[in-house]
Structure 1
């Protein structure tokens, strides 16, 4: 599926592309999706614009019809940096449902289809980069190590209480990540990754609630990933993200459905690795239910049919 096929199938209202003078052949496309991020989007864009590189890069800014002022901020930045920012003004009518719930998937995929760079970097509108050499160092690594398809870094986490805490363990060595590692325990923070651009099947995103996880597990079929031992990004855990805003019932439902979709996506060899992690999730819910935590009991009960199918299949 190409961009035109995608729009034909999913676009109900034409996306508005703000006037720009971005170069046609950047080395890197930085994809930013934002919705209701008025308090954060300036930090996100400033962190990207401050990047010191020997190559050109474009910022694909997808704004999903926010009502908190984020849309106006994005327009302000697009006017100020027309040579850097391609602003796509989206409409809520175009939202794609995933497992019955509306998502930001249209925005995410629209950015990917419009990426012109040899490499793609991702950063949600509520996260931000703090290292001005982040892009340069990651691209240098991928250019010099062609067997690797994607590169992440370590992060700090902006917590709900306003504190910033280093999330990943300090290391002095580059961590090599294989597909099996991602299927066991997702080690990347999406806001840090840079990966090689290439054809990505639309079908990949149709069944997954966590589209970024699906994308990375797909990419790692074609090469290795690495995590550089350097904090370059602040991940904003403020509780407004998709996974953090779900109740336990929906969260369990989404996690198990994503595990089922991963089993379909990957070779039979990986089935038990993927399934085992789903069983761990169920077991963790059971442990909480045994302590008479009502929300976990309700989550297990409401998802009982899904749990039985997951265990038996």
Structure 2
């Protein structure tokens, strides 16, 4: 597996503002890309994020909008320090009352301050590790004007046990092709928000400007603005990893999910009606993909016997209505039964899901005309 060289990244000298802008063509006051960085108590990670922005080499103007949601640590002080050094490049937006607690989603809120035609997204606990990321992704979208969004894989790491280790996920070969291609929207919708690393996204600002009202009641925003951004034409996929995702950053979604089981349950309970809203918004052409996601939510809720019975019963009823197979209905019914009988039902169920995922990935690769990566275990 490939490993990101964090020490080399941190050793790169930071250019000053004049050096960054030296190769720009066009009006500096009208950036082509707005980098959107959202922060909350990210003092331990923010230097890496801002370093990744300042190392970008482009032939077009860009700006960095850093939106802090009333951090209680030194995050705002760090932002102000960089803004003083790069006054024409970094635009700080410092909240003094937490907006997330009022139901406002950080990324769409930060995007309202952007001036660029495109948005490049990176939360403050993640960072970019490739100096030409913006230039390469902008060129890819220019080559595919029918697409609104471009993304790529990420290095994963930054855990408490190995804070400086970032590497490719071993099963990436199951998810991503090895060539540049247009990824079908249906694949991304079915990915439940896990398919596109948020820090890899560059997208047209018009997607954020036209989000429907129901979006603002969704439990998380990333999956839904990704899905809206890739329909109907799909998204441009680039095979090279160019960002790093911290899997256990303090305050991150991944860590909270490990610490708060109840929050994960409530997430999926709330996801189900939001997925239905998106289905009605997108129309009939996407109903099979929406039903897949609804079943995905039901399968999670059915798979955990610690979840209240009333929640699992509702999930079973919804799942049974969308699943024509009598055998699958019987298996799902058995899973409502505590004890050995319910556990027995897990075995063919898990085998079925694994088979469907495997066959689905093979079909995807055929659809987009790309070869599969070598099996896990081969050196990247």
Superposition TM-score, scaled by structure 2 size: 0.67
Q: 1:191 aligns with which of 183, 192, 199?
A: 199
Task: Map Cα deviations across residues 25-59 of structure 1 (whole Å, 9 max, x no partner).
Answer: 10100000000111100100000110000011000
Give me the whole-angstrom Cα distance separating, in 1, the residues matched to 2:231 and 2:300: 29
Contact 1:153–1:192 (8 Å) recurs in 2: yes
What is the aligned partner in structure 2 of residue 270 from structure 1?
Answer: 286
Contact 2:219–2:271 (8 Å) recurs in 1: yes
Give me the whole-angstrom Cα distance separating, in 2, the residues matched to 1:281 and 1:69: 38
Instruction: Name the SS for the 1:92 alignment partner.
Output: coil
Query: Per the alignment, do residues 189 and 204 of structure 1 end up closer, same or farther by CA in structure 2, a change over 3 Å counting?
Result: farther
Query: Per the alignment, do residues 68 and 306 of structure 1 end up closer, same or farther by CA in structure 2, a change over 3 Å counting?
Result: farther
Contact 2:31–2:115 (8 Å) recurs in 1: yes
Larger % of strand: which? 1
* 1:220 Cα deviation after fit: 1.8
Give me the whole-angstrom Cα distance separating, in 1, the residues matched to 2:317 and 2:60: 50
Larger % of helix: which? 2
Q: Verify: 1:165 aligned to 2:167, yes or no.
A: yes
* 1:230 Cα deviation after fit: 0.4
Q: 1:257 aligns with which of 251, 270, 279?
A: 270
Give me the whole-angstrom Cα distance separating, in 2, the residues matched to 1:280 and 1:145: 31
* 1:159 Cα deviation after fit: 4.1
Which is further off, 226-235 or 205-214?
205-214
Give me the whole-angstrom Cα distance separating, in 1, the residues matched to 2:262 and 2:288: 24
Query: Per the alignment, do residues 255 and 97 of structure 1 end up closer, same or farther by CA in structure 2, a change over 3 Å counting?
Result: farther
What is the aligned partner in structure 2 of residue 282 from structure 1?
Answer: 298
Mapping of residues 1-313 of structure 1, within 5 Å: 23-98=28-103, 105=105, 107-160=106-159, 161-162=161-162, 163-167=165-169, 168-169=172-173, 171-185=177-191, 186=193, 187-198=195-206, 199-201=209-211, 203-238=213-248, 240-246=251-257, 247-265=260-278, 266-289=282-305, 297=306, 299-301=307-309, 303-304=311-312, 307=315, 310-311=318-319
* 1:285 Cα deviation after fit: 4.8
Give me the whole-angstrom Cα distance separating, in 2, the residues matched to 1:219 and 1:67: 33
Query: Per the alignment, do residues 179 and 152 of structure 1 end up closer, same or farther by CA in structure 2, a change over 3 Å counting?
Result: same
Alpha-carbon RMSD across the aligned residues, in angstroms, is 2.5
Contact 2:36–2:111 (8 Å) recurs in 1: yes
Superposition TM-score, scaled by structure 1 size: 0.80
Instruction: Figure out how many residues of one structure are paired with residues of the other and give that number.
Output: 278
Runs of 4+ in 1 over 4 A off after TM superposition: 308-313
* 1:275 Cα deviation after fit: 3.1
Q: Gapped runs of 5+ residues in structure 1?
A: 1-21, 99-103, 290-296
Which is further off, 198-207 or 276-285?
276-285
Contact 2:302–2:316 (8 Å) recurs in 1: no
* 1:112 Cα deviation after fit: 1.2
Give me the whole-angstrom Cα distance separating, in 2, the residues matched to 1:175 and 1:188: 14
Query: Per the alignment, do residues 64 and 281 of structure 1 end up closer, same or farther by CA in structure 2, a change over 3 Å counting?
Result: same
Contact 1:64–1:90 (8 Å) recurs in 2: yes
What is the aligned partner in structure 2 of residue 5 from structure 1?
Answer: none
Instruction: Name the SS for the 2:242 alignment partner.
Output: strand
* Structure with greater Cα Rg: 2
Instruction: Name the SS for the 1:231 alignment partner.
Output: coil
Give me the whole-angstrom Cα distance separating, in 1, the residues matched to 2:218 and 2:273: 9
Instruction: Name the SS for the 1:141 alignment partner.
Output: helix
Query: Per the alignment, do residues 70 and 93 of structure 1 end up closer, same or farther by CA in structure 2, a change over 3 Å counting?
Result: closer
Contact 2:149–2:201 (8 Å) recurs in 1: yes
